[in-house]
Amino acid sequence: MEKSTGRFPPFVVRDGGGVEVAPVSGYMKELALSDMSVLTCRSYAFDLLRWFRVLWVLEVAWEKATGAEVDVLVGWMRTAGNPQRRRSRPHPGR
């Protein structure tokens, strides 16, 4: 995912070969033209990049994705480490 050089869309998702992912760009353009903040657009772009990376690993075209691919994404997100969730002190009640 990269910040676009133009205004619309504000962020561009590219595949492994550097090709812009057209469905994401269309959606990002719609978001940019709405009331969404640039930071919301950025967050959505990262989410879509994550989704497409899962689909690319599974070798599933986005229009062919089913609940099974969603389950893979959710399972990965639940098990992936997130340094932002680390606590320096134990959480109360644990």
- pLDDT, tens only, 63-78: 999 999 999 999 988 8
Q: Is residue 87 part of a domain?
A: no
Task: Please identify which residue in the block is written with the tokens 């062919």.
Answer: 64
Q: Is residue 72 part of a domain?
A: yes
Q: Is residue 53 part of a domain?
A: yes
Q: Is residue 19 part of a domain?
A: yes
Q: What is the span of the domain harbouring residue 30?
A: 2-82
The secondary element (H helix, E strand) that includes residue 27 is: helix 22-33
Report how many domains make up the chain. Answer: 1
Q: Is residue 91 part of a domain?
A: no
Query: CA 51 → CA 26, 54, 87, distances in Å?
Result: 16, 5, 27
pTM, full prediction: 0.74
- pLDDT, tens only, 21-68: 999 988 988 888 888 888 888 899 999 999 999 999 999 999 999 999
- Could you give the angle at the alpha carbon of 36 between the alpha carbons of 27 and 51, nearest 5°? 40
